[in-house]
Structure 1
């Protein structure tokens, strides 16, 4: 079993500064994906019985979150940045997506079949499928951050332009997710070092904790944080 992937070091700067924000926010998002992958690898081999379905729901939420993020990058965010950075400025990131997204989709298909009763749960197979793409994906998650470096943003964008892009991105992101899975996942796969991420308004944060987390409450026990955002010790008992 691979050792847990380390979290990305956050770029320097101020999260509230829109020029610094692009790289810092992206690093925080990538760390949430790493937290999720690490949790899947940790728990997959020992999950059994009544814990299988909640774990599969957790795992699907992780996979869907990663896939959704990269899809929005390609269909919206990168295009908006390239209007000022130049056509093809983010092409390298898109090419990197193609090196691991197909394997990610294969993992999702297997997890969906397990949940539907079409496949038998096999934790070792899940780890194997993760290993087929995780090294490449984590390398990409690290490589993408310098592309959004603050001085590069400041050279071509105004603060308002970046705020407008971010606002439109969040609107599209929230329009295409299942609030009962993606939002609780964002809490339990968070990072205590970045309590401001995701940048949700306080009422939504409370709604996540007390409402949206309820439907699949057993699934969020696999996250490294509890629903209040506090770290918890892993429980790998079957």
Structure 2
């Protein structure tokens, strides 16, 4: 029997700033270091990014092991992964980044993040066009094409997802008073994205959410109404079970072995602020 494979690689998950405070303070339970607005905002962003990274890992590791009868379901898994990414980055460019710059009173401070979006845009679009063609019956599914596509855009994407966290923490220099509405801004953007995801997108998120990440620190994430949470993990999950089975988590948010997987090593190493030359060693999750 093949060894269980989990969606924690080849692309690394992002530790949250809030969890880092706990790790850096051995007396956390006695004298906890209190995260501020910037820690909280960057941590929630990291949690969203980690769903995308788990999903990308799940696609990468399973792509070459998909039965012919399940190829379209797997392609739907890919499309829902991209939908979350597309909505997230659209919200950033159209709403979040411009308002952050207005709050700070400095134009261009988020430009590097937008430029990173553009860096992986073309190969990602080509990959999604191929996936849609497979669903439409215009092309045959080929797991090697999926893996090669991710080798092209994946490292650029994951580098961007990791780099955005210190960018948000860096907004601390503009002061709490100027940036105090940032949590409300991100909450509104998240609500807008959730509406755009639809039922299948909601199920996809649950299928790639680790409810026990970082010692159960994020059990209440994402902040959804109880009925939505219940339906997303029961009725909606059942309706989209063909797609959800490829996720990294079960419907209760517990990480599980991937449904159809084999280990694959990426051809290009991800470079983040922590892994670039002369950078300090990256803390483990």
Cα distance in structure 2, aligned partners of 1:74 and 1:15: 30
Aligned residue pair count:
234
- Say which SS state the counterpart of residue 190 (structure 1) adopts: coil
Question: 1:56-87: per-residue Cα shift (whole Å, max 9, x none)?
Answer: 11111111211211111001111111112221
Question: 1:173-218: per-residue Cα shift (whole Å, max 9, x none)?
Answer: 133222x221111111112313333222222111211232232211
Question: 1:101-121: per-residue Cα shift (whole Å, max 9, x none)?
Answer: 221111111111100101100
The counterpart of 1:90, out of the listed 97, 110, 113, is: 110
Cα distance in structure 1, aligned partners of 2:228 and 2:81: 20
- Say which SS state the counterpart of residue 94 (structure 2) adopts: helix
Q: Does the 8 Å contact 1:84/1:156 carry over to 2?
A: no
1:165 aligned onto 2:192: no
Q: TM-score, normalised by structure 2?
A: 0.76
The counterpart of 1:151, out of the listed 161, 166, 172, is: 172
- The structure number with the bigger radius of gyration is 2
Q: Does the 8 Å contact 1:47/1:236 carry over to 2?
A: yes
1:10 aligned onto 2:10: no
Q: Does the 8 Å contact 2:51/2:208 carry over to 1?
A: yes
Structure 1 gaps, min length 5:
none
Cα distance in structure 2, aligned partners of 1:88 and 1:7: 28
Displacement of 1:156: 4.3
Runs of 4+ displaced beyond 4 Å: 13-17
Structure 1 pair 236/168, CA: closer, same or farther in 2 (3 Å)? closer
Q: Does the 8 Å contact 2:103/2:179 carry over to 1?
A: no
CA RMSD of aligned residues (A): 2.2
Residue 64 of structure 2 is matched in structure 1 by 45
Residue 128 of structure 1 is matched in structure 2 by 148
Cα distance in structure 2, aligned partners of 1:54 and 1:15: 44
Structure 1 pair 9/237, CA: closer, same or farther in 2 (3 Å)? closer
The counterpart of 1:29, out of the listed 45, 48, 55, is: 48
Q: TM-score, normalised by structure 1?
A: 0.90
